[in-house]
């Protein structure tokens, strides 16, 4: 049996760190930066960070390909 799921505390810690990194990146490059490129970069970062949140919550490994 393959049981490599992290515990609840590590998942919450990862989500906390992801939130802090997301806020910092949005201030520098994204929607909150006030530049014209913020809209495009903000949208790309939003999609990437949503995928990362889904990966943390559901334990999905997007780069593991096996049959």
15-to-2, 22, 37, 41, 67 alpha-carbon distances in Å: 24, 10, 26, 21, 29
**pTM, two decimal places:** 0.72
Q: φ and ψ at 60, to 5 degrees?
A: -85, 130
With pLDDT > 90 as the criterion, what percentage of the chain qualifies? 15
User: Looking at per-residue confidence, does 61 or 47 come out higher?
Assistant: 47
Burial-class residue 15 by CB neighbours within 10 Å (0-12, 13-18, 19+).
middle
Whether pLDDT at 38 is above 60: no
Provide mean pLDDT across the span 37-63.
Answer: 81
pLDDT band at 60 (very low <50, low <70, confident <90, very high): confident
- What residue spans define the domains of the chain? 15-58
């Amino acid at each position: 049996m393959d049981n490599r799921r992290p515990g609840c505390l590590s998942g919450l810690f990862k989500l906390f760190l992801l939130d802090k990194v997301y806020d910092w990146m949005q201030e520098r490059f994204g929607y909150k930066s006030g530049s014209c490129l913020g809209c495009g970069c903000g949208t790309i970062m939003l999609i990437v960070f949503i995928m990362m949140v889904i990966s943390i919550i559901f334990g999905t490994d997007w780069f593991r390909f096996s049959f």
